[in-house]
Amino acid sequence: MDFTLKIWRQKNAKAKGKFVTYKVNGISDSSSFLEMLDVFNDQLVTKGEDPVVFDHDCREGICGTCSLYINGRPHGPDDAVTTCQLHMRKFKDGDTIVIEPWRSAAFPVIRDLMVDRQAFDKIIQAGGFISVNTGGIPDANAILIPKENADSSMDAASCIGCGACVAACKNASAMLFVAAKVSHFALLPQGKAEATRRVQAMVAKMDELGFGNCTNTGACEAECPKEISIDNIARMNREFLGAKIGAQKKVAKAGGF
Amino acid sequence: MTKLNSKIPLGPVATKWSNYKDHIALVNPSNKRKLDIIVVGTGLAGASAAASLGALGFKVKAFCYQDSPRRAHSIAAQGGINASKNYQNDGDSVYRLFYDTIKGGDYRAREGNVYRLAEVSGSIIDQSVALGVPFAREYGGLLDNRSFGGAQVSRTFYARGQTGQQLLLGAYSAMSRQVALGNVDSYTRHEMLDVVIVDGRARGIIARNLITGEIERHSAHAVVLATGGYGNVFFLSTNAMGSNATAVWKAYKKGAFFGNPCFTQIHPTCIPVHGDFQSKLTLMSESLRNDGRIWVPKNKEDVEKLRHNKLKPKDIVEENRDYYLERRYPAFGNLVPRDVASRAAKERCDAGFGVGETGLAVYLDFAASIKRLGRNVIEERYGNLFQMYQKIVDENPYENPMMIYPAVHYTMGGLWVDYDLMSSVPGLFVAGEANFSDHGANRLGASALMQGLADGYFVLPYTMQNYLADQINVPRFKTDLPEFAEAEKQVKSRIDKLFAIKGSKPVDYFHRQLGKIMWEYVGMARNKAGLQKAITMIREVKTEFWKDVKITGENSEVNPELEKAGRVADFIELGELMAMDALNREESCGGHFREEYQTPEGEALRNDEDFMYVAAWEYSCDGKDPILNKEPLEYVAIEVKQRNYK
């Protein structure tokens, strides 16, 4: 298969970026999208040009490293897959493919298609954990957890932290990412003890880092490669309101609980 | 021989670890604050070590090459984690997990280490549940288990097909909490390029900032390498694209011995190779063998018809199918250990019964289970794996059997460590897949997650304290010592040398060359002539690489080609050591199969008299052969037998 690629090229965080048009030929339809870029990059290197920089690692859809805004959609045209599992058979021979990085103030471009997603780590550090040290833990079966709760918690915990929800959102909101983590813990008895402080701390950090607000358009859910449900946002809002109305506790500093 | 002291505590195997813990030196809380530890790698072993050491009060610096610690390749582990909880009342115990692991490893692992692993396995489940890992549960609210290869009990805990993800996110969240508390500093997008040794002890690392290209010096009282395995020597493997051996290879060159480098695990159930531009292979979890039956056609006419699409697999009637694992190993059937299952698949394909376009595939069929349990049950158990298969192969595995073939997955070999998980360089600890210690010549499914977390949560916090107890008066290190300057100089000059080649071929070209040689001659079946040939060919690749590799751009920017070049240069050298080790080991054991040494039925034939030892290779200098040190293995608690899964 042959394609025309319009790729966002940007030398570094400070440089001005622009689209550059290239041709790539002879791609197998069973290649993944990133394998197509590998072939293309090998051609660039052989010509002595800088290859296109993009983030990727596991190439099996679970590490959350790969990104790419392809023809206006995070992770491209196929549903419920990351870019690394998108295959060229989803395109037509001769297609023009536009490839951009995630666009969000909270995810600045590092180079070409690579962005900085440390903001997600910072949100987790603000409260996305259960405060237990290693050791001195009761037996794993000491607390019964209804299967339905464990399953719903697992649904939320499946988030891979890729940032497609932010990229898809016109407000660049991180609500789905934060809500998935809040829900994952809120549905488990182990996470209940500090649920109130957790939701307040994580939401405060999200706001501080420059993510936008949620206006319920649902683009995040539609584009999430792991199909994380927008119901999690409703659950988080309940948790958040409950926390605000409830004890009116001052939000402890990050990690300080 | 005298160079290796495994420091296994005396006494019966069941009490070694508790005796050890009762008698080690400890560091009091106010002194812990004065001691720095570097942890390289943030997978299960690294993240759990950083979290646990940070919680104890040590000052930890954690490094990873990824953009976030959560992305380490432990995240991709699918099927589960073993623990000897005996929740199923099916006869499991610490001893049985210990026994299965030693036997599964074909009697090439240390009794002391493996017993400890089995002993702490239950605590890992407790710890993970407390951290919020949503393991699968039964309707009564208790934890569910499934069975895995190499065991007759159900001791595997799982979170759908994403167990590694959930366990890693648990360890990552614990580490994130320590970051917020100020006990752990997280350095992402940093790659370790050398270890710094001061007065015979590991005291720091040289790392490259992958964004700016800056070469940085970091000091500490002790260093932990938790950098994973080296399966990417084969180019195509189930490892992540960035998984590399550079950290352990640099440590090897600074005096850490390399244990059993030839012990590689070829996983039996991966999606077959599709073409020349394939970048990696995707695993289909071993847990699928619980409900999937593996077969190939009995008749070659059917093989031909399948290949030309004149027949569908479901058209082949029962009596014309060869369920070769069930036929050869009735007691374990489809759940034989990985090395056995992989070789059996190769045997059928080599004999001309392989299916698919290339003839290098076998069927993994769920039709019988779907009929017995219903499609919804299968979907609940393996839904995400089936979806992944469909996305990659474009075939529906609910309707047609999956096609699978073995692929490189895990490396049992790694840096040699003693009972403390310390390498032959004092102060340099090695955890998880990066060390050689617990799996012998073959790792059982669902045991990698167990070992990584055992090392990080429950072993290093004790053994490192024991090491650091006499270091409390050593002040924080400055990085202006000449040893740091020298190491930095070497790192920089190597980068300059790579850029100076200005050859004609991209890095991947050489990596593919190496991979082909390794798969052909140092893969599932090896022999003397092939290994000798491989060594010659690898040396040629090395020479050509240093003459003709082309790296674009410069050091002071994001430069993935430069990153790959450094890693591939190290893979080439490690590949040669793997071939040398495989050549030296004139026996078949576990994943190491030498064609010259097999039973009349084609099973691996060990030579305990001459090879019941750990081969610990010592670097001499470039151009000279490494020195082989041997650590004899002793079995006291277990009777050594020929492995039998019939």
Burial A199-219 (b: 16+ CB within 10 A, else e): bbbbbebbeebebbebeeeeb
B105 occurs within a structural domain: no
In the predicted structure, residue B498 carries a pLDDT above the cut 90: yes
In tens, the pLDDT along B245-303 reads 999 999 999 999 999 999 999 999 999 988 778 889 999 988 899 999 999 999 999 99
CA B423/CA A237 separation, integer angstroms: 50
In the predicted structure, residue A249 carries a pLDDT above the cut 70: no
Contact of B601 with B543, CB cutoff 8 Å: no
Roughly how many angstroms between the first and final C-alpha of chain B, as a whole number? 38
> Residue A131: which of B122, B123, B177 has the nearest Cβ?
B177
In the predicted structure, residue A122 carries a pLDDT above the cut 90: yes
Provide the 3-class DSSP secondary structure of residue A1.
coil
Token pair recorded at residue A22 = 């290239």
Contacts of B178 in chain A (CB under 8 A): 255
Residue B2: which pLDDT band, with cuts at 50, 70 and 90? low
Longest dimension (CA), chain B: 77
Contact of B226 with B431, CB cutoff 8 Å: yes
CB-based contact B142 A150, cutoff 8 Å: no
Final residue in a domain of this structure, among B372, B388, B408? B408
Residue A250: which pLDDT band, with cuts at 50, 70 and 90? low
* CATH fold group of domain A117-245: Fumarate Reductase Iron-sulfur Protein; Chain B, domain 2 (1.10.1060)
Token pair recorded at residue B207 = 């790392």
Query: What Cα–Cα distance (Å) separates residue B340 from each residue in B148, B436, B528, B579?
Result: 14, 21, 21, 21
Contact of B574 with B563, CB cutoff 8 Å: no
In 3D space, the residue among B4, B76, B458 whose CA is nearest the CA of residue B229 turns out to be B76
Amino acid at A208: E
In tens, the pLDDT along A156-199 reads 999 999 999 999 999 999 999 999 999 999 999 999 999 999 99
Residue B403 shares a structural domain with residue B516: no
CA A59 to chain CA centroid, nearest Å:
15
Q: How distant is the Cα of A205 from the closest Cα of chain B, in angstroms?
A: 12
CB-based contact B51 A145, cutoff 8 Å: no
- Across-strand partners of B628? B617
Residue B394 shares a structural domain with residue B522: no
B67 occurs within a structural domain: no
CA B284/CA B271 separation, integer angstroms: 7
Residue B506 shares a structural domain with residue B602: yes
Residue A255: which pLDDT band, with cuts at 50, 70 and 90? very low
- Which is catalytic among the residues B338, B348, B443, B585? B338
CATH at B296: 3.90.700.10
B54 occurs within a structural domain: no
Residue B310: which pLDDT band, with cuts at 50, 70 and 90? very high
Element (H, E) at B97: helix B94-104
Amino acid at A193: A
Mean pLDDT of B175-200: 98
| Poorest-pLDDT segment among A15-19, A86-90, A242-246 | A242-246
> Residue B130: which of A61, A87, A190 has the nearest Cβ?
A190
- Indicate the DSSP class of residue A32: B
Residue B498 shares a structural domain with residue B383: no
Average pLDDT for chain B: 96
Residue B646: which pLDDT band, with cuts at 50, 70 and 90? confident
Question: What is the tally of structural domains in chain B?
Answer: 2
DSSP A152-214: HHHHHHT-----HHHHH-TT-B-HHHHHHHHHHHHTSHHHHTTHHHHHHHHHHHHHHTT-B--
- Output B420-424 pairs: Cβ under 8 A, ≥24 positions apart: B420/B7, B420/B463, B420/B464, B420/B466, B420/B467, B421/B455, B421/B459, B421/B460, B421/B463, B422/B463, B422/B467, B423/B225, B423/B251, B423/B256, B423/B257, B424/B3, B424/B4, B424/B255, B424/B256, B424/B257, B424/B616, B424/B618
Structural domain spans, chain A? 3-111, 117-245
CA B59/CA B54 separation, integer angstroms: 6
In tens, the pLDDT along B429-476 reads 999 999 998 999 999 999 999 999 999 999 999 999 999 999 999 999
In tens, the pLDDT along B538-588 reads 999 999 999 999 999 999 999 999 999 999 999 999 999 999 999 999 999
Q: How distant is the Cα of A224 from the closest Cα of chain B, in angstroms?
A: 15
CB-based contact B391 A81, cutoff 8 Å: yes
> Residue B500: how many CB atoms within 10 A of its CB?
8
| pLDDT value of position B274 | 82
In tens, the pLDDT along A77-119 reads 999 999 999 999 999 999 999 999 999 999 999 999 999 999 9
Contact of B71 with A56, CB cutoff 8 Å: no
> Percent of chain B, pLDDT > 90?
91
Phi-psi region of B215 (alpha: psi -120 to 50; beta: other; left: phi over 0): beta
B144 occurs within a structural domain: no
Token pair recorded at residue A238 = 């309940």
Q: Which domain holds residue B540?
A: 482-613
B338 a catalytic residue:
yes
How would you write B229-249 as a 3-class SS string? CCHHHHCCCCCCCCCCCHHHH
Contacts of B69 in chain A (CB under 8 A): 121
B392 occurs within a structural domain: yes
- Across-strand partners of B629? B616
* CATH fold group of domain A3-111: Ubiquitin-like (UB roll) (3.10.20)
Q: How many helices (H) and strands (E) does chain B have?
A: 19, 19
CA B420/CA B467 separation, integer angstroms: 9
Interface test with A, best of B64, B186, B241, B501 (most A CBs within 10 A): B241
B418 occurs within a structural domain: no
| pLDDT value of position B255 | 97
Question: Where does residue B242 rank: exposed (0-12), middle (13-18), buried (19+ CB within 10 A)?
Answer: buried
CB-based contact A59 B173, cutoff 8 Å: no
> Residue A28: which of B125, B169, B275 has the nearest Cβ?
B275
Residue B398 shares a structural domain with residue B493: no
Roughly how many angstroms between the first and final C-alpha of chain A, as a whole number? 56
CATH at B526: 1.20.58.100
Contacts of A32 in chain B (CB under 8 A): 279, 392
In the predicted structure, residue B353 carries a pLDDT above the cut 50: yes
CA B446/CA B270 separation, integer angstroms: 16
Provide the 3-class DSSP secondary structure of residue B33.
coil
In the predicted structure, residue B1 carries a pLDDT above the cut 60: no
In tens, the pLDDT along B37-55 reads 999 999 999 999 999 999 9
Mean pLDDT of A10-36: 96
> Residue A59: which of B132, B280, B558 has the nearest Cβ?
B280
In the predicted structure, residue B113 carries a pLDDT above the cut 90: yes
Element (H, E) at B207: strand B201-209
| pLDDT value of position B3 | 82
**Residue A236 main-chain phi, psi, to 5 deg:** -65, -40
Average pLDDT for chain A: 94
